[in-house]
Amino acid sequence: MYTIPEIANIIGGKVIGNGFGHISKLSADSRAISFPEKTLFIAIKTNRNDGHKYIDSTYKNGVRSFVVSDSNIDFSKYNNSNFIVVDSTLDALQKLAAHHRNRFNLPVIGITGSNGKTIVKEWLFQLLNKDFRITRSPRSYNSQIGVPFSVWEMNADSQIAIFEAGISQPGEMAKLAPVINPTIGIFTNLGEAHQENFSSLKQKCNEKLLLFKNCDILIYDKDNKLVDISVLQAGFKAKLLTFGRCSEADIQVLSTDKDAGRTTVKYLYKSVYHEFEIPFTDDASVENALHCLAVMLHLDIPQKDINERMALLEPVAMRLEVKKGLNGCTLINDSYNSDFNSLSIALDFLKQQANVSGGKITVILSDIYQSGENPEILYKRVQSLLDNKNIDRFIGVGHEICKFQNLKFADDSAFFKSTADFLSHMDELNFRKETILLKGSRDFQFEAISDKLSECVHETALEVNLSALVRNFNYFRSFLKPETKIMSMVKAYAYGSGDIEVARTLQMNGCDYLAVAIADEGETLRKEGIHIPIVVMNPEKNSFRKIFENNLEPEIYSFNMLELVMKEAKNLGITEYPIHIKIDTGMHRLGFNPDEIDSLINKLKAQNFVMPRSIFSHLVGSDDAKFDEFTRKQLALFETAKAKMQNAFSHKVIAHILNSAGIERFSDYQHDMVRLGIGHYGITSVPTQKLEEVCTLKTNILQIKHVPANETVGYSRKGVLNRDSVIGAIPIGYADGLDRHLGNGVGKVLVNGTRAPIVGNVCMDVCMIDLTGINAEEGDEVTIFGNGLSINEVAQWLGTIPYEVLTSISRRVRRIYYKE
């Protein structure tokens, strides 16, 4: 623990308050505080948010110690509290973490590189936890903020620490290096990630290498010549431990033999032949395993243990899945590991989801393996954590956790010796309208619980990366002034991705408005706890009562529609209800004509039943440079209409015209608000590496058949085979949203990294693919679009736009939401 004066001295801050208090926890997230009396809240300012806005709510939740950079705070409002005032709260956090790091004299592994950081870190944990008590970064906590919070977890029980560091621009590693101060360095690889902020790969390589300035040993792939040359030029004092196929490598890789889902790596180390096997065949996994091998050799792990543990390596799950459950439940599936640190993070996510959806909060937890901690102490810590999160129901699964039933994990608790035992009693537990976290070690096979609790078990699923969604949202926000609002379009089931989870995520990340097409969509969001303003873009004439009942705000595009909404408001005794005025500047779809503005203003000012909340218009071709002249005409027409409307009323009338492409190409016309739609999903007409495709449509292979040449596949004998072929059937058809025009070789899918053409006609529920020459087995994953096969390419095959591809996906296809 640290005292307030100690912390102030470390970070160079001025204390305002009584100076009392002992700190063992740090937080920059007001939603994720478990032990407020021990927590120091650090009000960090970023380009997108300001932690000072949350001091009030954090104080109300029991926190009494703060680090701030705003000296204009009315400190007298906060009785019995301490404020440490500094110039930069981020710098203060990093200084405090660096000081904390240097209190410990133990091996610290620092990992950086373009890819593989988290997997190498997690595999090292799997490989070394039998020998050491390990502190490591939770998930992918490798940023300027995440690294200090990771390092803060070092404690007297730590025997080895493993931290990863990620950077996106010059100058960042110089700040992270003293925080981690590694003794063992790992440079995973060098790729194109974040290259847009560096003048060359060489510059980025040198920036990453700053992490290893004071290392005792540095591990890297000597076959990567740019990395090798850069390391040698840097003149580090560190001993170099390299691997590669070249004879100069310390660990010389002789061969990598792949067979039946496994790879045997044969190598020479100190002139002695060795080999190990891993249960993966991709090149990235082999590279990651070699980094881990080098660490184990450096730490003198016996060769027998290395071989045994490598053979048992497990995939790293770097995400929290969210999906609909039975009886109105929401499932958060983290059933891959159950260490204490990841439990804390998962509980924070659980609370955020539950705060929106309402209902009971339930945790299903397996035995926690490989903690290195006394079980009684460990489960008391778990109990304390759950108690602070106000969990309503707890279910423990496993022989070990059953020994501690006397601990009050929750008022409603149940315990089962095994997953099978739980499943046999599940119907008696009556899960209903609960937000449920499944948190289990892989051995417990909690996926069986997940399947039984899931609303839909169709093999075909649309995976939605909520973390990527937020990053895309923030990318577009980077074009905007701080005061400019964002309206996010979640109509049409959020473009097919699922409106509720997308709306929740956007609401939690500072979206100002949501927009739906019809009132029914808005009503659904309100029932699911969405509270920010929602605009109905296409209100139907009989929907105004529903709009009023659900506090929705209608778009008004004609005098007839205006009369209807005023009449309904008058009948219900409603005054000054917000409406949004649509102006037709060239789309010629819906909207008041520009020459009707004066009459519209007069009509609005003559009554008090409704009031204009915003005025807006739609751009026709903001995504295409050939329409720029027309776009500028639209912008000019809108400017005139906006000025008239805003000058006519004493209250603020918000103006907005830019869509996703407009934000990127015409940001000078952002007015008071912008509308973000397809851009959420990483789809843009402007070439950029900063957006990520959010949705991945996946299924798997049902059956594989060997079909001779001259036979046909599918209905109407359309799939004529001109060679002996291997044909796979996959459970997706036009009823799932797979367009029939993709059949007969027009479309392709991705199987184990190789494209496989669709053969014959697409059926209602199934289609067939040509697997000839592809290493594939029944049950293998198939990507319809996603990583490696862009939705843009699928749209091009169909001669359409990505909007149509996304919105065509049937609701019977499972939506699986995950957070990295």
Residue 603 annotated in active site: no
Phi, psi of 50 (to 5 degrees): -140, 115
- Residue 43 amino acid letter: A
Task: Tell me if 84 sits within 8 A of 68, measured CB to CB.
Answer: yes
**Which value, to the nearest 10 degrees, does the dihedral of the CA atoms of residues 73, 76, 81, 86 take?**
30
CA angle 580, 583, 584 (to 5 degrees): 145
Number of other residues whose CB lies within 10 A of the CB of residue 512: 17
Instruction: Label residues 423-439 b or e (16+ Cβ within 10 Å = b).
Output: eeeeeebebeebbbbbb
Strands (E), 382-470: 393-397, 412-416, 434-439, 461-465
Beta carbons within 8 Å of 74's beta carbon, 6+ residues apart: none
- For residue 69, give every residue at least 6 positions away whose Cβ sits within 8 Å of its Cβ, in sequence order, or none: 43, 45, 52, 85, 86, 87, 88, 89
If one counts every other C-beta atom within 10 angstroms of the C-beta of residue 808, the result is 15
Residue type for 639, please? E
Q: Please tell me whether residue 164 adopts helix, strand or coil conformation.
A: strand
Q: Which class for 402: exposed (0-12), middle (13-18), buried (19 or more C-beta within 10 A)?
A: middle
Planar angle of CA 460, 461, 465, nearest 5 degrees: 160
Q: For 774-806, give the DSSP string.
A: ----TT-EEEEEBTTB-HHHHHHHHTS-HHHHH
- Whether 495 sits among the annotated catalytic residues: the reply is no
Cα–Cα distance list, 189 to 6, 164, 225, 246, 681 (Å): 39, 13, 11, 16, 28
Type of residue numbered 284: A
Kindly name the residue from 60, 380, 541, 715 that is annotated as catalytic. 715
Which residues, in sequence order, are CB contacts of 129 under 8 Å at separation 6+?
370, 372
- Give the angle subtended at the CA of 166 by the CAs of 163 and 169, to the nearest 5°: 150
CB burial of 115-151 (b: ≥16 within 10 Å; e: otherwise) equals: bbbbbbbbbbbbbbbebbbbbbbbbbbbbbbbbbbbb
Per the DSSP assignment, residues forming a β-bridge with 7 are none
- Considering the candidates 25, 485, 491, 642, report the single residue annotated as catalytic: 491
Map tokens 């509720």 to a residue. Answer: 500
The residues carrying an active-site annotation are: 491, 715
